[in-house]
């Protein structure tokens, strides 16, 4: 393709494919090198402090994130996309059945509505690669690869990083976007945006005030060890009593710091899950149901472990009855350990 109109072609094509916005950065951009060096120092300190909890993979991936020129040696340019996956849209669908009236409920974050955002991001980047034409090497990264996605997005001017450590884009004002990076073995013209944010994060701080566990602290890195999303998704071991109290009624993710990033939801967009259904339906049936959903990353046993921890904290006869049934029927060592945790 000809690149004389690339600055117009890229954002228009990204919107046609369903993305929110797009930028293009040359890998020899001096600001990119500076920002990565600065971020490496912060991440190194964060890892050394142990605030990543059980996410040992972040330590293993750090050398690759720290040097994208070595990780993607072929890359001359990187296109960064922001996309939404209908996060916060109350009409967006999800695979979980409607709970019965009076059911014991746990909640899944609203971002798990629609198809798994990893798959959506990969599809967007694949379609963009086809539009660019062939004859060059490309590598797509959506969250699971060793890439500082938010850093690339901010260098490209897609937005700023909010107090909750998520990318905040200007025209949505909130942080309900995901990020994909497409590393390309061709030199493309840079497309760097200038985000006009309607207000500064430090003029608001709603996400910090709303966080019920204190994981978000002004001017300091997030302490993942007390983050509800970490506890329900990434912590694979048994939850102790304090952690179970922290997660409240969540079994996957948390929306506390996103719903208050203006505009506030007009209705509750969390996904309610009937805990009896979750704990008693054959696991194979649930795995098939959530196969294309973000909750598949956690897996059925993790969701059930969180449900057991939630129920153990409840002072409810119905919760206790369900726990007794689970204890008799479960074949999972993790579930048995969670049942006996305190």
DSSP 140-207: EE-SSSS--HHHHHHHTTS-EE-TTSSEE-TTT-SS--EEEEEEESS----B------SS-GGGT-HH
Distance CA 40, CA 34 (A): 10
Distance CA 339, CA 342 (A): 8
Which tokens go with 47?
A: 């890892």
Distance CA 202, CA 181 (A): 28
Instruction: Kindly provide the b/e burial profile for residues 74-89, where b requires at least 16 CB atoms within 10 angstroms of the residue's own CB.
Output: ebbbbbbbbbbbbbbe
- Residue 218: how many CB atoms within 10 A of its CB? 11
Contact 160, 193 (CB under 8 A): no
- Residue 331: how many CB atoms within 10 A of its CB? 7
> What is the pLDDT at residue 137?
96
Residue with tokens 């996103």: 258
Domain ranges of the chain: 6-88+114-197, 203-339
Query: What stretches in the chain show pLDDT beneath 70?
Result: 1-3, 172-174, 262-266
> What is the pLDDT at residue 240?
97
> What is the pLDDT at residue 260?
87
Choose, from 143, 165, 249, 265, the residue flagged as catalytic: 143
> What is the pLDDT at residue 39?
97
Residue with tokens 């939630």: 310
Please tell me what DSSP assigns to residue 306: H
> What is the pLDDT at residue 302?
98
**SS3 state of residue 26:** strand
Which tokens go with 329?
A: 């029927």
φ, ψ of residue 252 to 5 degrees: the values are -160, 110
Q: What is the residue-averaged pLDDT of the chain?
A: 94
Please report, to the nearest 10 degrees, the dihedral formed by the alpha carbons of residues 246, 255, 173, 207 taken in order: -10
> What is the pLDDT at residue 172?
63
Task: Considering only the C-alpha atoms of the chain, give the largest distance between any 2 of them, rounded to a whole number of Å.
Answer: 69
List for the chain the helix, strand, coil content (%; round to 5). 45, 10, 45
> What is the pLDDT at residue 266?
65
Which tokens go with 34?
A: 């500076």
CA angle in degrees (0–180, nearest 5) for 11-16-22: 25
Element (H, E) at 36: helix 30-48
**Does the annotation count 143 as an active-site position?**
yes
């Amino acid at each position: 393709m000809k690149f004389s109109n690339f600055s117009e072609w890229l954002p228009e094509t990204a919107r046609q494919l369903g993305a929110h916005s797009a930028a293009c950065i040359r890998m020899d951009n001096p600001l990119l090198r500076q920002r990565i060096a600065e971020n490496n120092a912060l991440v190194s300190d964060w890892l050394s402090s142990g605030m990543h909890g059980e996410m040992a993979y972040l330590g293993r991936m750090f050398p690759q994130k720290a040097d994208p020129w070595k990780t993607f040696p072929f890359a001359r340019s990187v296109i960064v996309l922001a996309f939404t996956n209908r996060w916060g849209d109350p009409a967006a669908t999800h695979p979980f059945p409607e709970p019965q009236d009076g059911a014991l409920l746990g909640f899944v974050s609203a971002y798990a509505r629609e198809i798994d955002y990893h798959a959506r991001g990969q599809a967007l980047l694949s379609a963009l690669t086809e539009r660019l034409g062939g004859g060059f090497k490309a590598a797509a990264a959506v969250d699971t690869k060793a890439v500082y996605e938010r850093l690339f997005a901010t260098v490209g001017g897609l937005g700023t990083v909010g107090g909750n450590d998520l990318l905040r884009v200007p025209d949505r004002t909130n942080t309900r976007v995901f990020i994909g990076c497409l590393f390309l073995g061709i030199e493309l013209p840079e497309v760097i945006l200038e985000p006009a944010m309607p207000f500064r994060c430090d003029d608001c701080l709603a996400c910090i005030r709303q966080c019920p566990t204190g994981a978000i602290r002004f001017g300091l890195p997030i302490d993942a060890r007390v983050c509800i999303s970490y506890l329900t998704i990434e912590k694979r071991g048994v939850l102790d009593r304090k952690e179970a109290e922290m997660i409240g009624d969540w079994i996957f993710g948390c929306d506390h710091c996103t719903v208050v990033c203006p505009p506030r939801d007009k209705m509750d967009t969390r996904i309610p899950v009937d805990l009896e259904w979750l704990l008693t339906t054959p696991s194979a049936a649930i795995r098939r149901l959530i196969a294309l959903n973000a909750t598949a990353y956690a897996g059925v046993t993790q969701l059930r472990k969180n449900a057991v921890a939630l129920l153990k904290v409840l002072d409810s006869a119905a919760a206790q009855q369900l726990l007794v049934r689970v204890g008799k029927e479960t074949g999972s060592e993790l579930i048995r350990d969670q049942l006996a945790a305190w």
